[in-house]
Structure 1
Amino acid sequence: MVYQSQSAGLVAYKVQSGLGTQASALSANLLRIAGGNGIRVSKAATESAEVRNDGLSTRGRHGSQKSSSAYNGEMSLGSHDPIIEALMRSTWDSVALTKTQADFTSLTTGANTIVLASGSPIAMGFRVGDIIRPTGLTDAANNGKNLRITALSATTITVAETLVVNAVADTTCSIARPGKRLINTVPLVKRYFTIEEYESDIDQSTVLTDFVWGTGKLSMATDGLIRFDPGGVGTGQAQALTTASSPYFTSPTGPVDVPFSVVDATIRLNGADLVELTSFDLSLDIQPNAPVTFGSGSQKYSPDVFTGPLKVNMNLTMLRKSLAIFSDFLAETPYSLNILAVDNMSEPKDFMSITVPNFTLGGVDPSALSKQGGGRTQTIAVPAALIGLDTSATGNGSMISFQTTAP
């Protein structure tokens, strides 16, 4: 008798062509997992109301069938891109934006600025929160590095990084926004997935069809790896595949990079790079729901999974150094946040960048005063109700945006 061990298994998933059409077995994605509840299938238990003289009960029946799935995971370059795309209900823009002297004639550099001689960087398509890379500049230290755009004007790109100042115009150079970008767009793109949990010891699989990724939580803690925990809901369509039919997906493709490390990440809050964070989390939720219905003779599944408006919320805990953030909470000061996670490599580093451009704070709560040694912390809550669309001319028109150099 062979029993299934806890670690000998894998999770694979692939987008379907539409509702009710199971994905084909080729070209699936392998999900990087670090635990989690996994696939769960449940049925309503319908109790018989019959009154019996013998004091016993008539066996009830199964009712509607529901399915869900949730995993813990570690984020690496490209590891969760299809899931993030599904949560955003948008599509990755894989066309890199590159502008040269043909677009701006020449440029000069300030301590934190790139000043164009002609043309508007806004009209060219650059936006606050974008990561750009200059090449061909006279000062080698300004080339081939990731620069975070913090502000834009009709002639100037302001970045968070410090540049070598050079007032002599560079004429043979370029500015590129590398990789691909994901922003909130309309119309919404709804995606259904087939997801498989394969248990290799017993050589059998659990498969869900018509599954919708609906939630994702990114989290960081000291001396840790960056985590991403996705979850979702299905219509209830589930299969238990036999050995002869398992695994369903043939050679799914898994991520090859090591996970992002928290110590390599940079978090910028309201114009300042933080050095005092002790924990951080950011959650996305499109509120997936599979309603229970009836009408046909064998209808035990939901006819569809419905989603609602995107909800984003965040929590930050950091060492307390002043009451400035508390004052901003009282004043309802608009904030922005950018996360830049990078691979451990030479410049220019591969990255995942996440920008939340427009929110206010929901609370700033200090830790209790104590006789114990150590610094006092404060926890900043940003509920979904206080995160909104960025409608500024220099923004991406999103509640949240992503950019990555993953293919």
Structure 2
Amino acid sequence: MALAEGVSGRIAYKVHSTGVITPGVEPDFASDPGASGGQILRRVSSTLALSKDTYQSNEIRGDRQIVDFRHGVKRVQGNVSGELSPLTYADFFEAAFRGTWSAAVTASESDFTSVAADNASSKFMFGGGNPVTKGFRVGMVMRFTNLSDADNNTKNYLILGFGGTQNREVTVYPAPDTMTADSSFSVASIGKSLVNPSSGFVSRKYAIEIWNQDVDVARLFTECRCGGFNAQLPASGIGTVDFDFMGRNMTMYEDSAAPFFSAPAVETTTGVVAAVNGLLRASGQTIAVITGLNIQMQLSPSADPVVGSNLVPEIFLGRANVSGQLTAFFENADLINDFVNESEIELLAYLTTTSAANTPALTFYMPRVKLGGADLQTQGEGGQSITLPYQALKSTAVEASTGIASTTLQICDTEVV
């Protein structure tokens, strides 16, 4: 008899037809989500499991023994962990945000008349129009085509800020080649962007299957809501992400009935992000001494039982609480003063998969952050580190005039189409 090995575990998922949970009733899995299709997920590990409330009899008996133990309400709880890569976890980010990925922004000389570039100031300067009104935002990645300076074409430019008349001066990273005004070009944001919305929240639920192929046993976890994520970005190494889930039930499939999902789409092939590539900015300045960053969004899911059913009636999600921690080498007093003075700063992480000019990339942008501490311990002989926990807050900037999204967290993924 074979024993299950970890390498044999295939994780696949599919969205249910509706995000609504019906108290006391489960969907017919044959049609919702249905066995056809699905998506195989790249992963490192998973802790998804079915749990039940249990009740032990408190009766005091003459034989001084326990004679009853009962099962109660069921819940699915756990996480799925993987290495952070563009596109791979787009569905789960969307579920955690309770929003929808926004389409790319496209424009040309008909919108902006002309465009020039200046290497010293790291800016593109449009001759007309308003890029913010068009839909460009801080934290997006844009690319030009058909420019007279070929080195400025098909290259990722991370938008850092807008200025000048009608926001026509766009500060970017990396700095473009200096270029005189060109009146024949196209420009577009790459991929899609996602924000914590202020209204129009979308509820989603997923069926997630773990199939151990060597023993031909599959566990299908159904009506799972995403309760948040934790992205870890070490100073040297591969970025990782954990997604928390809470669901209603699990069904087992064995032998010829396994797996449940037939012919799911193959895994994504995008590269993973590594800390040596990309950029990290705080308070509008590029920071070269950060030794670690993590970004957490917690929705505090809950699933309270009701009388007469062993299924929870709903999986409730709370506020989008975005927080995390920075660690940095002690270089100067800036970050400590930001904590002491309760200053609001911004954090922008640009995470790339290669060093190519048009590399697939992810950005995480928190426009309004307050530090909750500045722990600087004097110890050892090497570099001294500061630990800086932070709380992200909803931006109060006027989006229409600043190009800063009115949100707590914005993600841009160049590979989401």
TM-score of the superposition, structure 1-length normalised? Answer: 0.93
Q: Is 1:204 the counterpart of 2:217 in the alignment? A: yes
Q: Is 1:322 the counterpart of 2:335 in the alignment? A: no
| SS of residue matched to 1:263 | coil
Matches within 5 A, 1:129-144: 129-144=139-154
* Cα distance in 2 for residues equivalent to 1:346 and 1:55: 73
Q: Is 1:184 the counterpart of 2:196 in the alignment? A: yes
* Cα distance in 2 for residues equivalent to 1:88 and 1:266: 24
With over 3 angstroms needed to count, the CA separation of the structure-2 counterparts of 1:71 and 1:141, relative to structure 1, is same
Match of 1:49 among 32, 44, 58: 58
* Cα distance in 2 for residues equivalent to 1:200 and 1:390: 51
Residue in 2 that maps onto 1:152: 162
Contact 2:278 2:352 in 1 (8 A): yes
Match of 1:163 among 155, 172, 176: 176
With over 3 angstroms needed to count, the CA separation of the structure-2 counterparts of 1:279 and 1:359, relative to structure 1, is same
| Shift of residue 234, structure 1, vs aligned partner | 0.9
Residue in 2 that maps onto 1:173: 185
Residue in 1 that maps onto 2:384: 376
Match of 1:388 among 371, 394, 414: 394
Contact 1:329 1:364 in 2 (8 A): yes
Q: Is 1:96 the counterpart of 2:90 in the alignment? A: no
Contact 1:390 1:399 in 2 (8 A): no
Could you tell me which amino acid in structure 2 is paired with residue 246 of structure 1? A
Residue in 1 that maps onto 2:34: 24
Match of 1:336 among 346, 350, 353: 346
With over 3 angstroms needed to count, the CA separation of the structure-2 counterparts of 1:100 and 1:258, relative to structure 1, is closer
Match of 2:264 among 249, 252, 266: 252
| SS of residue matched to 1:73 | strand
Give CA deviations for 1:354-397 in whole Å, capped at 9, x if unaligned.
1111111111111x323x331001111103xx522344232121
| Shift of residue 346, structure 1, vs aligned partner | 3.0
With over 3 angstroms needed to count, the CA separation of the structure-2 counterparts of 1:90 and 1:199, relative to structure 1, is same
| SS of residue matched to 1:309 | coil
With over 3 angstroms needed to count, the CA separation of the structure-2 counterparts of 1:174 and 1:82, relative to structure 1, is same
| SS of residue matched to 1:231 | strand
* Cα distance in 1 for residues equivalent to 2:364 and 2:107: 23
Residue in 1 that maps onto 2:125: 115
Residue in 1 that maps onto 2:250: 238
Percent of aligned pairs with the same residue? 25
| SS of residue matched to 1:327 | helix
| Shift of residue 345, structure 1, vs aligned partner | 5.8
Contact 1:225 1:260 in 2 (8 A): yes
* Cα distance in 2 for residues equivalent to 1:224 and 1:345: 15
Matches within 5 A, 1:64-79: 64-79=73-88
| Shift of residue 8, structure 1, vs aligned partner | 1.4
Contact 1:76 1:255 in 2 (8 A): no
| SS of residue matched to 2:281 | strand
Match of 1:402 among 399, 407, 411: 411
Contact 1:283 1:314 in 2 (8 A): yes
| Shift of residue 161, structure 1, vs aligned partner | 2.6
* Cα distance in 1 for residues equivalent to 2:228 and 2:110: 44
Residue in 2 that maps onto 1:15: 15
| Shift of residue 51, structure 1, vs aligned partner | 2.5
* Cα distance in 2 for residues equivalent to 1:330 and 1:261: 32
| SS of residue matched to 2:133 | helix
Residue in 2 that maps onto 1:265: 278
* Cα distance in 1 for residues equivalent to 2:312 and 2:269: 37
* Cα distance in 1 for residues equivalent to 2:355 and 2:173: 20
With over 3 angstroms needed to count, the CA separation of the structure-2 counterparts of 1:391 and 1:294, relative to structure 1, is farther
Contact 1:180 1:403 in 2 (8 A): yes
Q: Is 1:292 the counterpart of 2:305 in the alignment? A: yes
| Shift of residue 48, structure 1, vs aligned partner | 1.8
Could you tell me which amino acid in structure 2 is paired with residue 310 of structure 1? A
Contact 2:237 2:275 in 1 (8 A): yes
- For structure 1, the residue ranges without an aligned partner over 5 or more in a row are none
Between Structure 1 and Structure 2, how many residues are aligned?
396
Give CA deviations for 1:204-241 in whole Å, capped at 9, x if unaligned.
11111111111211102233111011111012x11121
- For structure 2, the residue ranges without an aligned partner over 5 or more in a row are none
| Shift of residue 399, structure 1, vs aligned partner | 0.9
| Shift of residue 192, structure 1, vs aligned partner | 0.7
| Shift of residue 252, structure 1, vs aligned partner | 2.5
* C-alpha RMSD of the superposition: 1.7
TM-score of the superposition, structure 2-length normalised? Answer: 0.90
| SS of residue matched to 2:276 | helix
